[in-house]
């Protein structure tokens, strides 16, 4: 049994196609593991009985032409799943059962995958530590005192702890890449418009993207080719040629030019992060790539601009939670009182904070000073990347300015929490694809990640670079099952 859960996706698919193991065996193995791993608090909603039924059904009438034949998968609880509770980690949605399926998850089921359940995340994906979830924080499988990162913290922890062979997260400012980096896993944020936003609980619509999280780059490429699709149900979905990324994957990166942006060497960054970065540069050179010093001069302004744009869009998106048509309601003496009490009791502190920021920057008299200003800065950030990509094919940076921090360490200081996303946020503002791969451990033994940023729609190229680096890094995640 233990043998099954530690296999990566590619191995599982191969074994199932060779009829060495059944979907039921695989599904039960991951469920058994989840039953033993409740301490981690990865799941918000388990759908185990239904998963076993579906697995049996698959085994009775298997379709081996699918890319994910009978493979059980748990997903972030931000994706609407038809008939299965979807909470977004919030009290305000704690009893919401969608009547429709998100496009991204539907794409998984169309390839034969089976839903295991819904994974914990920061409330409405607002957080970098999975501590803002109404359903409690997630403990990292790396160490019990550590956060798994966020907002896709339950996803990252479940993947690293072998509760699911791959998973799906969402990334608005780093919510796939930062938890991947903290847990020694691979996470890809695709180009804006690559994966449909239909059926994903909205946070900041111009930044949100769904993406795969996996144990290795090949699995990640396979999931990306499955979930990425042009979708008329998302008006910002983009019609472009999508590859079979996993088939075209190559570790030949000879002659590729990789930019090293000097602005990512930030103040107070631990030496270990810089060393890791240098290691990455060396590995690229050894593989025949060329590194080029570049400048992204407005990098420093990305995070403040993000903390205008994202809350502004969130305040607008979250206006729909009013206690009328679905979700939680508090009683009030009249309609307005009901709205105000519902939203006060239903949203957690971080969500309220961001709604307040967003409402303020969009309020009369402040729009130009904040929101318009931030959109202009966003243009400058994008121009920086456009300029850099005249000279290079991709950009290499650390994924985060530190390794995972302790539970509770940053909860009282929102700005220090926000600073965690300093290397990931510019990518969302510019709509680019980026992947985080595990690249080493710090002195405490905690995983550290490197980020490869690509040109828009150039997922194949960053997957190839990641694939090449992965082989040379040969990272082994140190997980001692402390919770069992």
Partner 1 sequence: MAIDLKTVKHISKLARISLEEEKAKKLAGDLNSIFEFIEKLNKLNTDKIEPLTSIAETTLQLRKDEIKSKNIRDQILKNSPAENKDFFVVPKVVE
Cα torsion angle, 285, 287, 289, 294, sign: negative
Instruction: Specify the residue, 11 or 340, whose C-beta has the smaller distance to partner 1.
Output: 340
Sheet with 114-119: list strands edge to edge: 43-46, 114-119, 72-76
Q: Which is nearer to partner 1, 151 or 342 (CB)?
A: 342
Residue 256 vs 410, nearer CB to partner 1 = 410
The answer to whether 342 and 92 have CB atoms below 8 angstroms apart is yes
Query: Which residues does residue 95 pair with via DSSP β-bridges, in sequence order?
Result: none
Q: Can you tell me the distance from the alpha carbon of 229 to that of 432, in angstroms, rounded to the nearest whole number?
A: 17
Least spacing, CB of residue 109 vs partner 1, in Å: 17
31/48 Cα distance (integer angstroms): 7
CA–CA dist 49, 175 (Å, integer): 30
Nearer to partner 1, 48 or 328 (CB): 328
Is 86 in contact with 51 (CB distance < 8 Å)?
Answer: no
- How far CA 118 is from CA of 62, 180, 183, 244, 450, in Å, comes to 25, 18, 19, 27, 28
Return all residues near 158 (Cβ < 8 A) that are at least 6 apart: 34, 40, 42, 43, 74, 119, 164, 167
Q: Are 454 and 467 in contact (CB under 8 A)?
A: no
- CA 55, CA 74: separation in Å to the nearest integer? 14
Q: How far is the CB of 303 from partner 1 (least distance, A)?
A: 8
Map tokens 């002659």 to a residue: 255
In the complex, minimum distance from the CB of residue 457 to partner 1, in angstroms, rounded to a whole number: 11
Q: Which is nearer to partner 1, 216 or 428 (CB)?
A: 428
Shortest Å, Cβ 315 to partner 1: 7
Question: How near is the Cβ of 339 to partner 1 at its closest, in Å?
Answer: 5
Give the active site residues.
Answer: 76, 151, 175
Whichever of 35 and 337 has its CB closer to partner 1, that residue is 337
Where is 292: in which H helix or E strand? strand 290-294
> What is the nearest approach in angstroms of partner 1 to the Cβ of residue 88?
14
- Of 45 and 291, nearer to partner 1 (C-beta) is 45
| H or E stretch covering 463 | helix 459-473
Rounded Cα distance, 157 and 183, in Å: 7
- Sheet of 434-441: strand order equals 167-171, 209-214, 186-189, 434-441, 447-454, 394-398, 257-261, 290-294
Nearer to partner 1, 96 or 109 (CB): 96
Min CB(307)–partner 1 separation in Å: 6
Residue 434 beta carbon to partner 1: minimum distance, rounded to whole angstroms: 14
Q: What is the torsional sign of CA 166, 34, 182, 91? A: positive
């Amino acid at each position: 049994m233990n043998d099954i859960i530690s296999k990566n996706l590619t191995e599982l698919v191969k074994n199932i196609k060779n009829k060495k193991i059944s979907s039921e065996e695989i599904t039960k193995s991951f469920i058994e593991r989840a039953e033993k791993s409740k301490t981690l608090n990865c799941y918000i909603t388990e759908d185990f009985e239904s998963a076993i039924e579906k697995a049996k059904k698959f085994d009775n009438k298997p379709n081996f032409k699918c890319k994910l034949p009978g493979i059980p998968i748990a997903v972030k609880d931000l994706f609407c799943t038809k008939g299965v509770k979807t909470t977004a980690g919030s009290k305000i949605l704690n009893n919401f059962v969608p009547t429709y399926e998100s496009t991204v998850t539907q794409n998984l089921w169309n390839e034969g995958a089976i839903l295991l359940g819904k994974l914990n995340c920061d409330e409405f994906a607002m957080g970098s530590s999975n501590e803002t979830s109404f359903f409690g924080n997630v403990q990292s499988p790396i160490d019990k005192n550590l956060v798994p990162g966020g907002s896709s913290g339950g996803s990252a922890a479940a993947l690293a702890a072998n509760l699911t062979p791959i998973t799906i997260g969402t990334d608005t400012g780093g919510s796939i890449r930062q938890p991947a980096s903290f847990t020694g896993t691979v996470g890809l944020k695709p180009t804006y418009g690559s994966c449909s936003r239909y059926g994903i609980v909205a946070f900041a619509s111009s930044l949100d993207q769904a993406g795969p999280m996996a144990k290795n780059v090949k699995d990640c490429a396979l999931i990306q080719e499955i979930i990425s699709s042009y979708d008329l149900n998302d008006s910002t979905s983009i019609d472009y040629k999508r590859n079979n990324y996993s088939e075209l994957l190559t570790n030949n990166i000879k002659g590729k030019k990789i930019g090293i942006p000097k602005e990512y060497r930030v103040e107070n960054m631990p030496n270990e992060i810089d060393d890791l970065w240098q290691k990455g540069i060396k590995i690229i050179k050894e593989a025949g790539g060329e590194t080029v010093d570049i400048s992204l001069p407005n990098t420093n302004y990305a995070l403040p601009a993000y903390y205008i744009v994202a809350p502004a869009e969130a305040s607008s998106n979250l206006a729909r939670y009013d206690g009328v048509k679905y979700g939680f309601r508090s009683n009030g003496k009249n309609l307005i009182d009901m709205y105000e009490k519902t939203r006060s009791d239903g949203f957690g502190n971080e969500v309220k904070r961001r709604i307040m920021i967003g409402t303020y920057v969009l309020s009369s008299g402040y729009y130009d000073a904040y929101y318009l200003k931030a959109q202009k800065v966003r243009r400058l950030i994008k121009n920086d990347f456009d300029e850099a990509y005249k000279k290079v094919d991709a950009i290499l940076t650390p994924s985060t300015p530190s390794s995972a921090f302790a539970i509770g360490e940053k909860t009282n200081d929102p700005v220090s929490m926000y600073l965690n996303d300093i290397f990931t946020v510019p990518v969302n503002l510019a709509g680019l694809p980026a992947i985080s791969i595990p690249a080493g451990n710090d002195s405490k033994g905690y995983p550290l990640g490197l980020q490869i940023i690509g040109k828009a729609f150039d997922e194949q190229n960053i997957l190839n670079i990641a694939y090449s680096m992965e082989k040379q890094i040969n990272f082994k995640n140190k997980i001692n099952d402390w919770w069992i």
